[in-house]
Structure formats: C-alpha cells, structure tokens
Structure 1
C-alpha cells in the first residue's frame, strides 16, 4: 500500500480533486463562480513559470550538445515523426467519417462575430507575426510562443559557438533549468485544488452544449478521439520501447492528460509533460527539444478536428467532401493547421481561416467551424499535448539514443 501511495500518490490526489470539481460543476453550478478564481490563479502560475522554463530547458539542451550533427539529426527525425503521425491522424479521421458519416444542424444563432481580428492581413503578415516579434518584451507573451522558442534555440546555438565564455553561460543555463524544474514541482503540488476548480468550470460551461446542435459530429470526435488516443499512442509507445513502452507511457501520462483536460491548454500541460518524459526515461537532450517544439508544432487533436470541421462545413453546404482532390487538400491543410494552432486556450483561428480561404467556404458555414473548434477543445488539448511525450519516445528510438532508467513518481 505504501508503495502504491509513493508511486501514484500525486495522481490519486489529482483524480480526487478533479472528481470533486466535476461533481460540483454538475450538482452545484452556483459554486463554480467562487471556485474559478482558484483555478485561474493556478493556471496563471503555470503560464508565468512556463516561459522561463522554456528558455532554460531549450537553451541549456542546445548548449550542452557537443556535436552539431547530433542536433541536426534530432531535428530531422522530429520533423519526420511529426509530419508522418499527423498525416496518419488525418487519414484515419477521413476513413472514420467515410465509415460512420455524421451531419450537423446549422445553428442560426451561432457566434458569427467570433472571427479573428485583422482580416485584411496577408498570409505573409501572419507568418511574420507568428514566427517573430518586433520588441523583446513581446517575446515574453505566450501568444508569441513560437517566436520565443526560436529565440531560445538561437541562444543555445550562440552559446555553443562562444568558447570558454559560452561554457560559463552554459553553467548558468543548467542552473536555471534545475531551479525552474523545482519551481514547477512546487506549483504542481497545488494541482489537485487548482485543476479541480478549473474542471468544475469546464463541466458547467461545456456540459449543456455537448448535446445541442452539434451532438453527432461532437459524438464522433469524442468517440474517435478516445479510440485514437488509446490505440495509436499505445502503438507509438510499443514502436519506441517494445512491450514495456505501453505501460511505461500510460503510467506517467495520467497527470499530463488530466492537466490538459481541465485547463484546455497545451502550454499549461508542458511542465507535466516534461516531468513525465523524465520519469519515462527519455534522454534530457531529446525531451527538452522535442516537447517544447511539439507544444507549438505538433497537434494530433487539431489534425482530427481540422478534418471534422471541413467535413461538417461541406455537409452544411451540401458539397462532396469525399472527392480525391478535396481529401488530399484536407490532409495538406491539416498538416499546416497543426503547425499554426498556438498552445493557448481556444486557439487555432488562423488555421480555421486557412481552410475557409482555400476552399472558399461562405460565411454561413463559418460559425459551425468555430463552435466545433471550441467544443472539442478539452479532448483536442489532451491529444495535442500528450502526443509530445510519445513523439519524444519515437525520436529517442529512431535517433539511436538509449532510454534512461524509469524514475519513481515524485
């Protein structure tokens, strides 16, 4: 019993907190307004801590790599893993919709004003804004997370090229990385209370809407997404580490999954993912590169929802989704959408506008796309965030690196 509490104590407390929060959201919704500030404070602490964690984790990892060929190999394998598995998710979703077709009723009272700002911007302007910022202070916003990741990568590369002075700076980066790991461990001790409060808010907010106009497509997404989550992530863990990889991944994926489900934020799940990677035994030099980059660039949940949203828009307009050119374009859009959907709650408007502009979808179908994106967000975030860890396992396998020994639950 003591061993069970030692290995799973934090997860058990998380489950207790989330269960209590769910019950409050269902039976005492009037109390949610009192609890939500607690969840917001916890989430804000995570967001504030994630920015320095990203900087120290990425920069120190790059700075400690002696061979530049190793870094190039890791990035190359990561790119192949990301694109291949995203295409697998998209193709499987198309096959699922072909096998089990669903339709959606159009909601005339939909959120027609939920379009992104600056619609006059060109795609070039949006790409520049996505990859860079014009002032250093703007790097520290989670809305500029990819620009911040690129900056951290460049700092790590510059450190490696700075000789003796660079080695001194590397020691600072390593110390900062350790300090931030300990800070996040302290913050996560409040997880049962913070996530429980936020989960109560999610249940109260999303629960009634799941059975409205979009019941069939949402039902498909949640059933298909859960099956994909269990089957394909287990398959990837098996490919990465053999039969022992499956229980190893799921044992340490519980806390990240619960964090993603309750916060609807890939970025807030990043600390839990890094802790899970360490416990699984993924080498630090791989986990600290793949997981932060995957947080922005690798989104299985967004891939599945992208296909579903295109399908629903076509069904509303009585267009044929299953034409070969349409399906191939949908897969291409999905790869791009998974790379532009930011790691922030209810993000992804840029990706949705991409599919609207390419297909020429009229305004009447736009609200349906936006609403489905919001309602699938909890499960989509779980798929988006926790896939980073299993992707890091695959990169470890294909790069020839050795898994470290499993660490006990903190």
Structure 2
C-alpha cells in the first residue's frame, strides 16, 4: 500500500496519458479541440519555473556553513559529485550513439539552436543579460541560475545579518515546491489532453520512440547501478569496499524505490554509510547535500530526454558543441532538481528553456521523466552512499574503515 501511495501520482499521470493516447487513436485530428486544456497545464508549469529555480539554488547555497574542516569536505565532495554526474552522462551519450534514437517522428520543423555572432558574443549572451527584467524569462535560464547562485552565496556570507533572508529563502523554497505539487494535480488531465493531440496529429509511431528511449535508460541505468557503483566502491575500498557497500546498500535502495524520494532516503543512507565505514563528520555532510545536489539517475535521464527531443525536432545530437552543452545542462539539471517525487520536472523545463525548444517538447520530456522515475530515484539516492565512501578515500588518504 505504501508503494502504491508513493507512486499514485505517477499512476494517475500514466492513466491520463493512456486515456489521451486512446482518444488520439480513435478520434484522430478531431482531438485538436481539447489541446487548449493541455496548453493551460503547460503554461502553469512555465510560470513556476523561475521562482522554483531561484529558491532551490539560492536556498541550497545560503545554508552551507563555512569552516576549514567543512570546506575541505565540501571541496572533495563537490569534485566527486561533478565527476560521477559527468561520467554517467558521457557514457549515456555513448549508449545513445550505439543505440541511436532515430527520427521516427518529427513534432515540428527543425529548429535552429545556433546564435548569431562570434564565439565571445555567444558566450556573453549565454551567461549574462543586460537588464534585470530579462532574468525573469525562461529563455535566459543560465544567467538566472548564475544570479540565483550569487544571491545564495551572498546570503551565506552575510552571517547573522542575513539570517532572516535565509529563512525567507527556505520558506519560499518550500512554498514554491507546494505550488508545483498543486499544479501537478492537473497533470493527468492536462498532459493526457496534450498527448491525445500529439497522437491524433502525429500518429502511433510516437510509441516506438518512447519505447526505444526507455529501453536505453533502463538498460544502461541498471548497468551503471551494478557495474558503475561496484567500480566506485572498489576505488574507495578495494574488494572489501565492494562487499561492504552492497551488503549495506540494499535497505537504502528499497527505501528509495518505496518512497520515490532522495530526501526521504536520507535516514537510511546515513545509517548505511556508517556501516560502510564512513566517518560521521563526512557522512553527515555528503548524504544530506547529495540528496539535493548529486543525482546520477537524473544525469542519465537528462541525456536521454535531450536525445529524444533533438530527434523529434530534426536536430543531430552528435556535434561537439551540442555534447558539451548537454553535459553542462545535465550538471545544472542535477543541481536544480529537488530530491522529491516528480522533482525531475524542473530539469525538463530547464532543458526546454536553455535549448529554446517550443512548447511541444515538454510532454515528451515529462512522459519519459515519469516512466524512468523509479530507477532514477534509486540511482540518485544510493549514489550518495558510494560518493561518501569515495570522499573518505580521497579526503583521508585511506579507504573507509570497513569491517
């Protein structure tokens, strides 16, 4: 019953998508009449992205406490988080190259992702805007993310005088997450209506694209969970490290699957890393921050989603510039997404905004995100445990004191 309660929103969303698909198959292009229902739902999601990103990033940074010992832990931890996210993303790209997502369906004419001007001008436009109000557009997400990070850093440095503002950031983050939760109550109807429109106008070949992408995700995701985490545990503690990791990672894995939340898995993870030989001062930092900032599962799904929408809009996903940008977007999406059920929708909105995809791109992103959520949560949550072992290994110059 607990499992059904945890994933009830996902089941309702899938029910809406299935109902919409059936309506699209039966009524064909006549379902265009219900498209405005889907548009209303998507527009509500677009309006929440700016406050959601701001409070999520600024709050996370503002509540990091400074200190020499803590600073060393945060430094090593951050590098390891970044490394594992990029490793998972890069090998997902390789998997997409090996098993390419063919352009079976095109939602609209090919769009241009290129910006006019030389390299320096493009970089300036990518990272900054000239007016504050321009930050409030979802088309300028990277500048807004940088600004949000600066606000959070300033709030952290303000010390006692910034306490009230830090409380505001925390409270705002909780409120905006509830706003997203309320909006998602409309998901089964809104997304179902939009999916009916897509199936009715494009055709059932959409299902082949989704099935192919899900096959890549679950195939590579399971491989990464078993082989990748085993390799990380071996680096952290050799053969004994591998044994102690898998012996104590079962409970966190089941907890992540049952709760659908990295945040809810924190207690199980803290207990597990203690048994894995991770010192309390390291585990108490890496595990809670990892639940918010470190998401290998989301990294893999971000690449899959990008590959799908690139194919659907007639764009290649193999040029060096696209790959570099995709890796950067993956890192940002991993940081921005909350460690809560359905938190991946934030990353999907981010992918759309940064690449400038039209509104038709969001339903495919959300559908894939919904279907991969169980495995993504397991990877996100339990990846923090092996990261804690690696942090101990590199920070202390020795393997965790496994027994």
TM-score interval, smaller chain: 0.5 to 0.7
**Could you say which residue in structure 1 is the equivalent of 2:290?**
294
For the pair 1:247 / 2:243, whether they are aligned, the reply is yes
Tell me the equivalent position of 2:81.
82
Q: What SS class does the counterpart of residue 266 from structure 1 fall into?
A: coil
- Distance in 2 between the 1:141 and 1:227 partners? 38
Correspondence for 2:170 among 123, 127, 139: 139
Is residue 104–residue 216 contact of structure 1 (8 Å, CA) maintained in 2?
Answer: no
SS of the residue 1:361 aligns to: coil
For residue 264 of structure 2, give the secondary structure of its aligned residue in structure 1. helix
Deviations 1:181-229 (A, max 9, x none): xxxxxxxxxxxxxxxxxxxxxxxxxxxxxx9552111111011100011
Equivalent position to 2:352, from 320, 331, 356 = 356
1:337 to partner: Cα distance: 1.0
- Whole-Å separation in 2 of the counterparts to 1:135 and 1:293: 17
Task: Give me the whole-angstrom Cα distance separating, in 1, the residues matched to 2:168 and 2:321.
Answer: 44
- Structure 1 residues 361-390: Cα deviation after superposition (integer angstroms, max 9, x where no partner): 222222101111111111011111100010
Distance in 2 of aligned mates of 1:319 and 1:393: 40
Q: Distance in 2 between matches of 1:96 and 1:317?
A: 20
Are 2:288 and 1:305 aligned?
A: no
Q: Distance in 1 between matches of 2:233 and 2:324?
A: 28
Structure 2 residue aligned with 1:317 = 313
Q: Relative to structure 1, is the Cα distance of residues 134 and 212 closer, same or farther in structure 2, using a 3 angstrom cutoff?
A: farther
CA distance in 1, matches of 2:267, 2:249: 12
Check the 8 A contact 2:241/2:402 in 1, yes or no.
no
Structure 2 unmatched ranges of 5 or more: 12-62, 108-134, 156-163, 178-205
Counterparts of 1:291 and 1:337, CA distance in 2? 19
**Contact 2:240 2:402 survives alignment (8 Å):** no
Question: For residues 331 and 144 of structure 1, do their structure 2 counterparts lie closer, same or farther at Cα, with a shift above 3 Å needed?
Answer: farther
- Counterparts of 2:329 and 2:262, CA distance in 1: 21
> How far apart are the structure 1 equivalents of 2:265 and 2:244?
19
Q: CA RMSD in A?
A: 3.5
**Residues 372 and 404 of structure 1: is their aligned pair in 2 closer, same or farther, counting only changes over 3 Å?**
closer
Q: SS at the partner of 1:330? A: helix
Task: State the 1:101 CA deviation.
Answer: 1.5
Distance 1:145 1:288 in 2: 26
Kindly state the Cα deviation for residue 69 of structure 1 after the two structures are TM-superposed.
Answer: 3.4
Q: 1:372 to 1:103 in 2, by over 3 A?
A: farther
Q: TM-score, normalised by structure 1?
A: 0.60
Name the SS of the counterpart of 1:376 in structure 2: helix
SS class of match (1:281):
coil
CA distance in 1, matches of 2:176, 2:402: 30
Alignment correspondent of 1:374: 370
Post-superposition offset of 1:351: 2.5
> Given the two structures, how large is their TM-score scaled by the length of structure 2?
0.61
Q: Which moved more, 1:359-368 or 1:295-304?
A: 359-368
Aligned-partner Cα distance in 2 for 1:103–1:120:
32
CA deviations on 1:148-189 (whole Å, 9 max, x unpaired) are: xxxxxxxxxxxxxxxxxxxxxxxxxxxxxxxxxxxxxxxxxx
Q: Relative to 1, partners in 2 of residues 1:102 and 1:404: Cα closer, same or farther, differing over 3 Å?
A: closer
2:326 to 310, 330, 343: 330
**Structure 1 residues 281, 219: closer, same or farther in 2, change over 3 A?**
same
1:204 alignment partner in structure 2: none
Alignment of 1:141-290 (within 5 A): 143=174, 214-290=210-286
Q: Please list every run of 5 or more consecutive structure 1 residues that lacks an aligned counterpart in the other structure.
A: 1-16, 30-57, 109-117, 147-210
Partners of 1:256 and 1:405 lie apart in 2 by 20
2:123 aligns to what?
none
In the TM superposition, what whole-angstrom CA distance separates every residue of 1:108-129 from its partner, at most 9, and x where no partner exists? 9xxxxxxxxx985664666649
Is the contact made by 2:393 and 2:400 (CA closer than 8 Å) also made in structure 1? no
The answer as to whether partners of 2:237 and 2:400 remain within 8 angstroms in 1 is no
| Equivalent residues of 2:88, 2:299 under 8 A apart | yes
Does the CA-based 8 Å contact 1:305-1:380 persist in structure 2?
A: yes
Q: Say whether the 8 Å CA contact 2:106–2:314 is kept in structure 1.
A: no
Distance 1:372 1:397 in 2: 36
1:39-188 equivalent positions in 2, closer than 5 A = 68-103=67-102, 120=137, 123=141, 128=148, 131=152, 136=167, 139=170, 143=174
Shift of 1:104: 7.8
